[in-house]
Amino acid sequence: MSNFEYAPAPESRAVVDIASSYGLFIDGKFTEPADGATFKTVNPATEEVLADIAEAGEKDVDRAVAAARRAQEKVWGPMPGAERAKYLYRIARLLAERAREFAVLETLDNGKPIRESRDVDVPTAAAHFFYYAGWADKLDHAGFGANPRPHGVAAQVIPWNFPLLMLAWKIAPALATGNTVVLKPADTTPLTALLFADLLRQAELPPGVVNILTGGRETGSLLVNHPGIDKIAFTGSTPVGKRIAQEVAGSRKALTLELGGKAANIVFDDAPLDQAVEGIVNGIFFNQGQVCCAGSRLLVQESIAEDLVDRLKRRLGTLRVGDPLDKNTDVGAINSAQQLERITTLSQSGEDEGATRWTAPCELPERGYWFAPTVFTDVSPSHRIAREEIFGPVLSVLTFRTPAEAVSKANNTPYGLSAGIWTEKGSRILWLADQLRAGVVWANTFNRFDPASPFGGYKESGYGREGGRHGLASYLQEGSAP
């Protein structure tokens, strides 16, 4: 026990008001669901119920899509880009003004540490709106031909791991290009989307441009299958993404998918070791490892493997797991009982299949959904924990001997979202970056996101890019020339 024990340093909950119940945000107003169905959202760190949430049914989806269509045809579509831009700038600024409110709410609903929601999620979300605002009146110069047309009404289904940030990634480019939106947040994390609806009131965004339908799987399915939708953007698991692509086939709905990953974080013998350790830790324990681009496989050059793993374990001993609202917490709660079950089961398979399990020493709270940071060594490519996405704070360590072997092991997966390279040798970085079949390659860094930087996957990690000029492409119609 250190002499230097950090006292609790909780961020105050008082900054945000949480209603006891929320309706659906359709056509600029909150309304009750047609059949009155509701469900609850809880704080995963304490299992405390935060609010009752409406479950959108068929009639609600019809109404929302119709409202989005009216708004697109009559208001948002005809509006000059420069005016659309100003709405988006307003939204960006409002989000920056109310940043603390959103950060605390995100932490309460998702379980992630306040430091992350405060320093990453909310500022990056605001930045996305700011970035895409600037494109709204420059689409002619974006490389998609003169006067590119929006699809129309976009259905957007987002996951629970970065609720507000994923909302920003979806809504900002859609609105900038002249589409209107019906967005369904994840059922375990609806609150920041609902607070966002309040922000839209302050921005005076025309009714129907953004509609927010809360609900579960069923709501999502109704939404993406609705005939009035022109475009679907989905971020979530690969199995669900495939199902959506199957359902959409033949309908001519535009579709982009951002799915799972099993990224390799590759550390060479000449890596800047202390920074590589930080990069590994960030790669798999940021957001409790619940990240599609998490560096969940450490591929370390065999000659330094033992030393690196020792350094890593020592560093993991300083990770602070606990109350997400405490400003000093590094690792928060797992988002749901269901997700915790998945992580637990897959981790057990690691032991069953013969890998060596190590757990960071930490005290887990009594209530809530918690999983201690875990490292598996002696992992081979055939193990489930090397192949399947765990989506939790579990690192699988494999070794390699040569750069070619690193490439071969890194690419040996149906996924292809991201990868990390740690070496001091510039030419090796560039060679490896060429070889890796991944949409985002981080060299001597990890988990860096920026609205100007395109993000998306190869292979079964999905298609389409979010961020940057490339992020406009999926919200604009293609030309008809051969």
* Span from 24-32, 71-79, 102-110, 468-476 in contact with other proteins (CB under 8 A): 468-476
Classify 10 as helix, strand or coil.
strand
5 carries an active-site annotation: no
Place of tokens 């900002």: 172
Nearer to other proteins, 24 or 407 (CB): 407
Site string for other proteins, 148-187 (x = CB under 8 A): ----------------------------------------
Looking at residue 443, its amino acid is: A
Please name the helix (run of DSSP H) or strand (run of DSSP E) that holds residue 115, with its range, or none.
helix 114-116
Please name the helix (run of DSSP H) or strand (run of DSSP E) that holds residue 442, with its range, or none.
strand 440-443
Is residue 388 at the binding interface for other proteins, with CB under 8 A as the rule?
Answer: no
Nearer to other proteins, 53 or 126 (CB): 126
* Span from 103-111, 338-346, 398-406, 445-453 in contact with other proteins (CB under 8 A): 445-453
Measure the CA–CA gap between 86 and 309, rounded to whole angstroms. 50
Is residue 359 at the binding interface for other proteins, with CB under 8 A as the rule?
Answer: no
- Distances in Å between the alpha carbon of 316 and those of 13, 267, 274, 296, 369? 29, 17, 13, 15, 20
Classify 217 as helix, strand or coil.
helix
Are the beta carbons of 463 and 257 closer than 8 angstroms?
yes
- Helices (DSSP H) in 41-113: which residue ranges? 58-71, 81-97, 99-110
CB of 236 to other proteins, least distance (A): 13
Is residue 404 at the binding interface for other proteins, with CB under 8 A as the rule?
Answer: no
CB of 165 to other proteins, least distance (A): 15
Beta partners for 30?
25
Residue 119: how many other CB atoms lie within 10 Å: 12
Site string for other proteins, 276-315 (x = CB under 8 A): --xx------------------------------------
Point out the catalytic residue in the list 101, 106, 258, 389: 258
Please name the helix (run of DSSP H) or strand (run of DSSP E) that holds residue 212, with its range, or none.
strand 210-212
Please report, as residue ranges, which positions from 90 to 119 form the binding site for other proteins (by CB under 8 A): 115, 119
Q: Which two tokens stand for residue 217?
A: 């799987």
Residue from 249, 351, 352, 365 touching other proteins (CB under 8 A): that is 249
Point out the catalytic residue in the list 11, 101, 106, 292: 292
Are the beta carbons of 415 and 261 closer than 8 angstroms?
yes
Q: Residue 426 burial by CB count (10 A; 0-12/13-18/19+): exposed, middle or buried? A: exposed
Nearer to other proteins, 252 or 366 (CB): 252
Is residue 455 at the binding interface for other proteins, with CB under 8 A as the rule?
Answer: yes
CB of 33 to other proteins, least distance (A): 31
* Span from 160-168, 288-296, 358-366, 448-456 in contact with other proteins (CB under 8 A): 448-456
Site string for other proteins, 9-38 (x = CB under 8 A): x-----------------------------
258 carries an active-site annotation: yes
Q: Any idea how long the chain is?
A: 482
CB of 63 to other proteins, least distance (A): 28
Catalytic residues: 258, 292
